[in-house]
Amino acid sequence: MNSATILLVEDNPDDVALTLRALKSHKIGNEVVVLEDGEQALDYLFGSNGGTAADDLPALVLLDLKLPKVTGLEVLQHIRADERTRVLPVVVLTSSGEERDVVESYSLGANSYVRKPVDFLEFTEAARQLGLYWLILNRAPGGNRPG
Protein backbone atom coordinates (compact mmCIF):
# COMPACT_ATOMS: atom_id res chain seq x y z
CA MET A 1 0.00 0.00 0.00
CA ASN A 2 1.21 3.50 -0.82
CA SER A 3 1.02 5.33 2.49
CA ALA A 4 1.24 8.69 0.75
CA THR A 5 -1.76 8.40 -1.55
CA ILE A 6 -5.44 9.16 -1.13
CA LEU A 7 -7.68 8.22 -4.05
CA LEU A 8 -10.54 10.71 -4.42
CA VAL A 9 -13.23 9.58 -6.86
CA GLU A 10 -15.48 12.61 -7.41
CA ASP A 11 -17.06 14.05 -10.55
CA ASN A 12 -18.07 17.46 -9.19
CA PRO A 13 -15.17 19.94 -9.63
CA ASP A 14 -16.47 22.11 -6.78
CA ASP A 15 -16.49 19.12 -4.40
CA VAL A 16 -13.00 18.16 -5.55
CA ALA A 17 -11.72 21.67 -4.85
CA LEU A 18 -13.51 21.75 -1.50
CA THR A 19 -12.09 18.37 -0.48
CA LEU A 20 -8.54 19.30 -1.49
CA ARG A 21 -8.82 22.64 0.32
CA ALA A 22 -10.22 20.96 3.43
CA LEU A 23 -7.41 18.38 3.52
CA LYS A 24 -4.77 21.06 2.97
CA SER A 25 -6.24 23.36 5.64
CA HIS A 26 -5.63 20.62 8.22
CA LYS A 27 -2.14 19.90 6.95
CA ILE A 28 -3.01 16.51 5.51
CA GLY A 29 -0.21 16.54 2.98
CA ASN A 30 -0.75 13.14 1.41
CA GLU A 31 -0.72 12.97 -2.36
CA VAL A 32 -4.30 12.97 -3.66
CA VAL A 33 -5.12 11.27 -6.95
CA VAL A 34 -8.39 12.66 -8.31
CA LEU A 35 -10.49 10.61 -10.73
CA GLU A 36 -13.74 11.87 -12.23
CA ASP A 37 -15.75 8.71 -12.79
CA GLY A 38 -16.08 5.11 -11.71
CA GLU A 39 -14.54 3.74 -14.88
CA GLN A 40 -11.34 5.71 -14.23
CA ALA A 41 -11.31 4.39 -10.65
CA LEU A 42 -11.55 0.79 -11.84
CA ASP A 43 -8.78 1.39 -14.41
CA TYR A 44 -6.58 2.95 -11.73
CA LEU A 45 -7.10 0.12 -9.25
CA PHE A 46 -7.26 -2.87 -11.59
CA GLY A 47 -5.77 -1.80 -14.92
CA SER A 48 -7.73 -1.11 -18.08
CA ASN A 49 -9.46 -3.98 -19.79
CA GLY A 50 -8.41 -6.46 -17.13
CA GLY A 51 -4.73 -5.51 -17.41
CA THR A 52 -2.35 -4.91 -14.54
CA ALA A 53 -2.75 -1.88 -12.31
CA ALA A 54 0.02 -0.09 -10.47
CA ASP A 55 1.66 -2.15 -7.71
CA ASP A 56 0.92 0.40 -4.98
CA LEU A 57 -2.63 0.77 -3.76
CA PRO A 58 -3.75 4.01 -2.15
CA ALA A 59 -3.90 4.20 1.64
CA LEU A 60 -7.51 5.37 1.46
CA VAL A 61 -10.30 5.71 -1.10
CA LEU A 62 -12.80 8.57 -0.77
CA LEU A 63 -15.66 7.50 -3.02
CA ASP A 64 -18.67 9.45 -4.22
CA LEU A 65 -21.75 7.38 -5.06
CA LYS A 66 -23.27 9.38 -7.91
CA LEU A 67 -20.61 8.95 -10.59
CA PRO A 68 -20.83 8.84 -14.39
CA LYS A 69 -20.11 5.64 -16.36
CA VAL A 70 -19.76 3.33 -13.33
CA THR A 71 -21.48 4.20 -10.04
CA GLY A 72 -19.67 4.41 -6.73
CA LEU A 73 -21.57 1.36 -5.50
CA GLU A 74 -20.33 -0.64 -8.49
CA VAL A 75 -16.76 0.51 -7.82
CA LEU A 76 -17.12 -0.53 -4.19
CA GLN A 77 -18.46 -3.93 -5.25
CA HIS A 78 -15.40 -4.48 -7.51
CA ILE A 79 -13.02 -3.39 -4.75
CA ARG A 80 -14.47 -5.87 -2.29
CA ALA A 81 -14.63 -8.70 -4.84
CA ASP A 82 -10.90 -8.62 -5.63
CA GLU A 83 -8.40 -10.26 -3.28
CA ARG A 84 -5.83 -7.48 -3.82
CA THR A 85 -8.19 -4.66 -2.83
CA ARG A 86 -10.61 -6.45 -0.50
CA VAL A 87 -9.32 -4.78 2.69
CA LEU A 88 -8.56 -1.37 1.14
CA PRO A 89 -10.18 1.32 3.35
CA VAL A 90 -13.09 2.89 1.48
CA VAL A 91 -14.97 5.89 2.84
CA VAL A 92 -18.13 6.78 0.97
CA LEU A 93 -18.13 10.57 0.83
CA THR A 94 -21.37 11.69 -0.75
CA SER A 95 -24.16 14.22 -0.62
CA SER A 96 -26.75 11.42 -0.53
CA GLY A 97 -28.52 11.01 2.76
CA GLU A 98 -30.87 8.35 1.44
CA GLU A 99 -31.14 5.38 3.79
CA ARG A 100 -30.95 2.86 0.94
CA ASP A 101 -27.57 4.32 -0.13
CA VAL A 102 -26.27 4.04 3.44
CA VAL A 103 -27.48 0.44 3.80
CA GLU A 104 -26.20 -0.65 0.39
CA SER A 105 -22.81 1.00 0.95
CA TYR A 106 -22.30 -0.88 4.20
CA SER A 107 -23.71 -4.09 2.71
CA LEU A 108 -21.09 -3.88 -0.03
CA GLY A 109 -18.31 -3.36 2.50
CA ALA A 110 -17.79 0.38 2.93
CA ASN A 111 -15.69 1.16 5.99
CA SER A 112 -17.50 4.42 6.64
CA TYR A 113 -20.29 6.55 5.19
CA VAL A 114 -19.91 10.33 5.46
CA ARG A 115 -22.49 12.72 4.15
CA LYS A 116 -20.87 15.84 2.73
CA PRO A 117 -21.81 18.83 4.85
CA VAL A 118 -22.82 21.88 2.84
CA ASP A 119 -21.03 24.26 5.21
CA PHE A 120 -17.28 24.64 4.53
CA LEU A 121 -16.27 24.67 8.21
CA GLU A 122 -18.21 21.46 8.86
CA PHE A 123 -16.66 19.91 5.77
CA THR A 124 -13.10 20.83 6.77
CA GLU A 125 -13.71 19.35 10.22
CA ALA A 126 -15.00 16.15 8.61
CA ALA A 127 -11.87 16.04 6.40
CA ARG A 128 -9.64 16.56 9.45
CA GLN A 129 -11.32 13.71 11.30
CA LEU A 130 -11.14 11.40 8.26
CA GLY A 131 -7.44 12.14 7.83
CA LEU A 132 -6.67 11.71 11.52
CA TYR A 133 -8.50 8.42 11.79
CA TRP A 134 -7.79 6.68 8.47
CA LEU A 135 -4.27 7.96 7.84
CA ILE A 136 -2.82 8.11 11.35
CA LEU A 137 -4.81 6.12 13.93
CA ASN A 138 -6.18 3.25 11.88
CA ARG A 139 -4.05 0.09 11.74
CA ALA A 140 -4.08 -1.50 8.31
CA PRO A 141 -4.03 -5.30 7.85
CA GLY A 142 -0.59 -6.82 7.94
CA GLY A 143 0.48 -4.75 10.94
CA ASN A 144 1.32 -1.63 8.96
CA ARG A 145 -0.18 1.74 9.56
CA PRO A 146 -1.23 3.43 6.35
CA GLY A 147 0.33 6.74 7.27
Domain range enclosing 42: 6-137
Q: Is residue 87 part of a domain?
A: yes
In a domain, 125, yes or no: yes
pTM of the model: 0.84
Any domain includes 114: yes
Instruction: Give 28-82 pLDDT, tens digit per residue.
Output: 888 999 999 999 999 999 987 555 565 678 989 999 999 999 999 999 999 999 9
- Residue at 21 is within a domain: yes
Q: Which of 14-23, 116-125, 136-145 has the lowest mean pLDDT?
A: 136-145
| Domains: count for the chain | 1
Strands 90-94 and 58-63: parallel
Q: Is residue 142 domain-resident?
A: no
Is position 66 within any domain?
yes
Phi/psi at 114 (nearest 5 deg)? -120, 125
pLDDT of residue 53: 62
